[in-house]
Amino acid sequence: MIRARSISEPTIKDTIIHRMDPRAKIIMLVAVSFIVVALDNPETMLILFLTVLGGFIPAKMPLIKLKTLGFLLLLLIWGTMYSQALFYSQLPRTVIFTIISPDLPFLGWFTHGGLFIYKEGIHYGAVQALRSATVLSLGLLMGWTTDPRDMLNGLVRLKIPYSVAFMVVTAVRFLPIVIAEVATVVAVQRLKGFKPTKFGYGMIKTALGILTPTLANCVRRAGVLAVSIESRAFRANPTRTYLKELRCSNFDIAIITITVSLAIAIISVKILFNLYTSEVYYSTYLREIYAFARWYL
């Protein structure tokens, strides 16, 4: 079964992906996010997506993680396709199914003339979903192959202020505890004969019921934890030292170099191409670049 844990817990192994420096992972993730936004060509987007998926092979992820990934991707792609099938606004478009007829009282008015599924929208949605799917898969690959603590170390070395990193470590550390507490509160409510699934006010009441004890515990805990931390000289000095050092391997440096240059190159070519199509700047020397951008990016 796919549980919350199968999304949130990393699988610690010793593979080439696991050994990557967290900084390299974060930088790669950001670079790919930019590339994904710049790209328009469906084939290239698909190749990028498949490359990212390929990364799961050397990472030797257990089956449950792959199942989780597959499940999340399916949901994501389905969701985007569905929403775009509804909201596609380019022409031509073909109605293949009517969800809400414009004549329907209220809803017809509310939706400004009904809701339809457009054939072209489904296709468009599938292509656009590749963007989110690529970022999601890469993110999960990074998340699942990195101990949160290393990830934070990476962030701190990337100039995230230490107190912020501290807050995030604390948040990560208490995540399983808070989840367990939420589960207990839900159990308590069920044992007291409360059915927490009623839509509307019932759900809000449930939410209040769950949050009150959970947060009360958080508030109590915060007091103790804060004293415990302060008695260990938290923020006693403006700077601090670190026991653990991060070292970039050649592989990490190669990854950073490749993804960052790729991102810069793609974005620059894309901008040049757009300058050309918007008749702002054109140079005959760049004709091949224009052609490349038109066909592949």
Partner 1 sequence: MKPILLALVLVLLTLPLSTAQDVGFAPEEMFSFSVQVPYGAKEGGLAVQGSNLSAYLFVESFQHGDMDVRVHLDLPDEFEVKDETVQMFRLHTEYDDWYRFIDFHVPPDVPCGIYTINTTAYIDFGDQHEIIERKTTLRVASKNEISDMISIVSVVIPSDEDGVGDPSRPENSIILQEASPFINKIKKIAGMGDSNEDVRVSYVGVEIENNGDEAVPLIVSYEILDIKTMQEIGEFKPTLMGMSSKTFSYSNIILPARSSKVVGLPIYTTDSVMGGEYLLRARVTVTGSNWDAATSDNKITAISRNWTSVVVSLVAFFLSITTIGIFVSRSNEIMNSFKTRHLVMISLFGTASFAAVNIPMTFLWEISHAVFGPFSFLFTGIFYEVILYMLIVAAVVLIPKPGVVFLLLMVRYLLNGIVLGHFNPVFLLSYSVNAIILEIMLYAAGTTRGNMDKLKTGLACGVADAISQYVSFSLWMVLYRLFYSDWYLKANILIDGFIYTFIGAWLGIKLGSKLKKVVE
Partner 2 sequence: MIVIEDLWYTYPGRNEPTLRGIDLTIEEGEFVLITGPTGCGKSTLLKMLNGIIPHESGGEMTGKVNINDVNTADSCMMDLAQLTGLVFQNPDDQIFSTVVEDEIAFGPENLCFSKSEIDRRVLDSLEMVGMSDHRYAQTSKLSGGQKQRICIASMLAMMPGILVLDEPISQLDPKGAADVMHTIRELNRKLDLTIVLVEHRLHEIAHLVDRIVVMDEGKIVLDAPISKAFEHIGLFHSLGLRIPETVELFHRLGYDRLPLLVDDALDMLGKQSGCNTVPLYESSDYPNEQCNRGDPVISITDVWFGYEKDTMVLKGIDLDIHEGERVALMGTNGSGKSTLLLHLSAMLKPDKGSVEIMGIDTGSKGPYSFASKVGLVFQNPDLMLFCDSVEEEVRFAPSNLGLEDPVQMAGNALESMSILDLRLDPPQALSRGQRLRTAVASVLSVQPKLMLLDEPTTGQDKLHIEQMMEHFVKNDNTLVFCTHDVETAIRYATRIVVMNEGTVLADGDSRGVFKDVEVLERASLKQPCAMQIARSLGLDAFCVDELVEIL
**Is the Cβ–Cβ distance between 59 and 142 less than 8 Å?**
no
Report the residue from 52, 210, 263, 293 that binds partner 2 according to the rule CB under 8 A. Answer: 210
- Asked if 91 interacts with partner 2 (CB under 8 A), we say no
Minimum CB–partner distance for residue 75 and partner 1 (Å): 3
DSSP state string for 179-209: HHHHHHHHHHHHHTT--TT-TTHHHHHHHHH
Stretch that binds partner 2, among 24-32, 110-118, 227-235, 263-271 (CB under 8 A): 227-235
Phi, psi (5° rounding) for residue 100? -125, 120
Question: Nearest to residue 7, comparing CAs of 75, 54, 57, 58?
Answer: 75
Tell me the residue length of the chain. Answer: 297
DSSP state letters, 135-153: HHHHHHHHHHTS-HHHHHH
227 part of the interface to partner 2, by CB under 8 A: yes
Angle CA(255)–CA(258)–CA(259) in degrees, nearest 5? Answer: 85
| Residue 243 contact among partner 2, partner 1, none, beta carbon within 5 to 8 Å by kind | partner 2
Cα–chain center distance at 191: 36
Residue 108 CB, nearest approach to partner 2 (Å)? 40
**Is 197 near partner 2 (CB under 8 A)?**
no
Tell me: does residue 177 bind partner 2 (CB under 8 A): yes
**Taking CB within 5 to 8 Å according to partner kind, which of partner 2, partner 1, none is near residue 16?**
none
Determine if 62 is a binding residue for partner 2 (CB under 8 A): no
Of these, 13, 143, 209, 296, which contacts partner 2 (CB under 8 A)?
209
d(CA 73, CA 65): 12
Binding-site ranges for partner 2 (CB under 8 A): 147-149, 166, 169-170, 172-174, 176-177, 181, 184-185, 187-195, 208-210, 212-214, 216-217, 220-221, 224-225, 227-237, 239-245
